Structure 1
């Protein structure tokens, strides 16, 4: 039979062991409920990571400047993939804890570069799915952030698509149900300033919507030469190709673009009054201004 005295001693030793373990081992804590430790990760700038798409093409333009027409003409080429507006600038990375930034810093990454990697992966995925060799993104708001695109892709190529600012103002005014004329002029000016900045800074192919609609073959031949691909007459018959849905937020969805035919651009109203800066930019782009 077991000695009851030995059993009591054993119980005492086990209890003493548990108390010692509690003394040296702090209780488990809920990390999600704890304040995140501070870090200097926000001040870190990561070097560029390798890109899957080394030289994407970006169409820089104002809204209502014919970028959807240009997209479908390019997308009709056998070697060029030009999908709907991709809105890369709205794809963000959320580093939800401060130590996440530290972890990424150890991998030579920061929030901006993580977003660049994501953007690059999206372009590469779309290009691979298409089976083509060149990808073009024509999202107009890219114009407002072109310096960051240039930082993300140092070897990117750019098509600067101009349209008479007065015609852009008129097109936006017609499109809005209850147009705020002052707000529309301010919006067009914002786009025009960044577009002119890109035109003067980048080694870009500059063209106009008016030339594209008036001389589509000549204009698309120049584009193909810039992109290093042979011109294809099928580009002008974009209505024979599948370009996806034409709907809001993805590009122009008007009957003009749905017609499948290149139609002459509507000229600017020569009697319309523009703000002085828009008049100045129109002149710099070679447009006649009264």
Structure 2
């Protein structure tokens, strides 16, 4: 008898189930004029991205806060079949879902940009170098990208000196070298695929003559150089996880050539993992008696 009641309850539940409701049109609760062409500052860790972002943030038209970190998660969701299925159940097709995720991903940037009276926003998050295609898709291929490069061994030296590790390579310096190499390879591949929306600057040249190095890159991206960018040390900036030393600097203080403290043996090993010549940087032999700061 109890079994019959079990079946009867399910039959009643099926017959009396609520009619499926399909929302045919997504409704956006709030919206405002948005920055149509966000700028992403891309470079390996310890390549000068913090300096560049402070210069951009000092531009009267550009808001460039510290690292956001979360945009790559929205970009991943925009290509996740289960997430898209969830949106579909709420009446959003794939393109509408992407647009909604784009709005959510950029909302905080937009709020800061508007609060500061700026025309466009920029994002500086080094980790995004490995999510460029997904982020580009999230923003419907409207982004612009400003790439920055530094001597790759200087970047690796600085990463290892801070004890940062971004992969499973056992040796700390080796891990840094692999990370920088992979970052530079990802940047080069993306630039080759989207040359019309990418421009690049070199850290050493940026330190030596900022306007000569940066102005042409900005022009290529449809932006203009402004002398306020050199006044970054006198402007107000939000601070995230970037180098705390940089916060107290009122002007450009170049940091170049730390890798020269490596012995010849360390340089030889480093070259096997990351050859600077592959990225346009010559390698000099350390002078005799030079102190080795990082050992094999």
TM-score of the superposition, structure 1-length normalised? 0.71
Contact 2:234 2:250 in 1 (8 A): yes
What's 1:220 paired with? 214
Tell me, in whole angstroms, the C-alpha distance in 2 between the residues paired with 1:24 and 1:181: 67
Q: Secondary structure at the match of 1:59?
A: strand
Q: Secondary structure at the match of 1:225?
A: helix
Equivalent in 268, 274, 279 of residue 278 of structure 1: 274
Match status 1:58 vs 2:49: no
Equivalent in 233, 243, 253 of residue 252 of structure 1: 243
Structure 1 unaligned segments of length 5 or more: list them: 1-21, 28-50
Distance 1:54 1:234, change over 3 A: closer
Tell me, in whole angstroms, the C-alpha distance in 1 between the residues paired with 2:189 and 2:54: 26
Tell me, in whole angstroms, the C-alpha distance in 2 between the residues paired with 1:177 and 1:156: 29
Match status 1:79 vs 2:61: yes
Contact 1:209 1:265 in 2 (8 A): no
Match status 1:137 vs 2:123: yes
Distance 1:269 1:115, change over 3 A: same
What's 2:292 paired with? none
Tell me, in whole angstroms, the C-alpha distance in 2 between the residues paired with 1:229 and 1:236: 16
What's 1:89 paired with? 72
What's 2:137 paired with? 151
Q: Secondary structure at the match of 2:250?
A: coil
Correspondence 1:97-246 to 2 at 5 A: 100-104=86-90, 106-109=91-94, 114-153=100-139, 154-176=141-163, 180-203=172-195, 204-245=198-239
Deviations 1:96-134 (A, max 9, x none): 999734414x32148766533321333333322221112
Match status 1:263 vs 2:253: yes
Tell me, in whole angstroms, the C-alpha distance in 1 between the residues paired with 2:164 and 2:131: 28
Deviations 1:141-187 (A, max 9, x none): 11111111221221211111111111111111221289722322222
Instruction: Name the count of aligned residue pairs.
Output: 243
Contact 1:69 1:257 in 2 (8 A): no
Deviations 1:189-227 (A, max 9, x none): 221221221232222111111111111121232244234
Q: CA deviation at 1:268?
A: 5.3
Aligned-CA RMSD value: 3.4
Q: Secondary structure at the match of 1:269?
A: helix
Q: CA deviation at 1:244?
A: 1.5
Deviations 1:79-110 (A, max 9, x none): 11111111111457699999734414x32148
